[in-house]
Homo-oligomer: A and B are copies of this chain.
């Protein structure tokens, strides 16, 4: 009887397997290929074979073999020769960006945004529904599904080429199990199970703040930094904590509820039922509330000449502050100071190398930088403060969506 040895040397597990267990239990070659792709994905410039082999700890012959296989599979392309001072010039390689795509979806209280990204995380399609209002209902969930379906259709991307969809949703989310606890919590199974059944590609979920942190980690100012805070400062206040190079989820993925730390001196009642949460003093909604309280005390503002008082939102206040409106400046500074105090305390606990202000307030660096720093001085210990940089996100308004897209690559260990 002839012996039945394995003759095909192709890996049994596909690089783009849609089964997460495969990814964690893959053979050495596929794991190394994944690392090569991830390295090229992270790298700004194209890389040579020796450089790749050094980084992924492979000998040049094996590295060459795997890279050639990736070229055969159309995942990697040669992009020219590298200019060097001496020696034979090496060939450069990069990812073929159009080989595969990922989808980022962000579900906020108001607004639904989806983008399709190629492997290099360049946006190839984008759509937003500003009229969307998040409700914990079947109808709302169906709306989301319909939105995704039409978006995917309109993007004209081959669905077989979609690696997966990452969803960032507001509220408490267990990223590991895929359950959402504040919205769409009426489902029998997890939110991930629900979506996975609806689409041919795999679905991953995390909360909006963690997804923003991912964006900062891969494309923003937390790149190559092992310990960072990424603030999601918009209407509310959240924080993604990066420690030892990883976003901290905690035991159920609930980590980051910075808005519900009681550090303030105020006694305002928070939505969570407690009093004095940072979130009652810091964030867009708190800013609006402060604005209206001051107006009630007969203070005045340039803003009142342009808009009815009830319709003024925190973005109006920010704009007014940057144009010199005294009240807007005052309350924004005040908010920044309180935020700084809270940050200084948490800085003592976690010793980050950088604090990045993201969210809708990211462009407000000119107004907020100094007041936050002043606040931090009041609470932070000098040693950890000295080596912590305060900075504002520069990724732009689609940061969270891009982070949601990156969630796919991250889970597939391709970035």
Contacts and interface: CB of A to CB of B under 8 A. Distances in A.
A390 to B, nearest CB: 14
Contact of A257 (B256, B274, B353, B384): B384
Given A257-B349, A345-B262, A379-B262, A227 B243 contact: no
A6 to B, nearest CB: 14
Interface string A374-387: 00001101011001
Interface string A234-258: 0000010101101011111111111
Contacts of A254: 351, 381, 383-384
A272 interface: yes
Nearest to A379: B262
A384 B207 CA distance: 15
A345 B345 CA distance: 11
A137 to B, nearest CB: 21
Contacts of A251: 226-227, 351-353, 384, 387-388
A94 interface: no
Contacts of A258: 348-349
A248 B387 CA distance: 17
Interface in A325-369: 341, 345-346, 348-353
A258 B256 CA distance: 17
Among A226, A345, A384, the one with the most B-chain Cβ atoms within 10 Å of its Cβ is: A345
A244 B244 contact: yes
A181 interface: yes
Nearest to A25: B57
B248 A350 contact: yes
A15 B261 CA distance: 46
B252 A383 contact: yes
Among A252, A258, A351, A383, the one with the most B-chain Cβ atoms within 10 Å of its Cβ is: A351
Contacts of A246: 243-244
B387 A252 contact: yes
A221 interface: no
A410 B278 CA distance: 38
B387 A261 contact: no
Interface string A256-300: 111011110000000010100000000000000000000000000
A400 to B, nearest CB: 20
Interface in A121-155: none
Given A257-B384, A263-B262, A250 B351 contact: yes
A172 interface: yes
A261 B349 contact: yes
Interface string A170-182: 0010000000010
A263 B263 contact: yes
Nearest to A341: B262
Among A226, A261, A274, A349, the one with the most B-chain Cβ atoms within 10 Å of its Cβ is: A349
Contact of A250 (B181, B243, B249): B243
Contacts of A239: 349
Contacts of A348: 257-258, 260-261
17 contacts: A172-B383, A181-B383, A226-B251, A227-B255, A239-B349, A243-B244, A243-B246, A244-B249, A251-B352, A251-B387, A254-B351, A254-B384, A257-B348, A257-B384, A261-B349, A263-B345, A346-B349
Given A251-B387, A252-B351, A258-B349, 10 more contacts: A243-B250, A244-B248, A251-B384, A254-B383, A257-B351, A261-B349, A262-B341, A272-B381, A274-B378, A274-B379
- The 3 closest A-B CB pairs, nearest first, are A250-B351, A251-B353, A257-B348
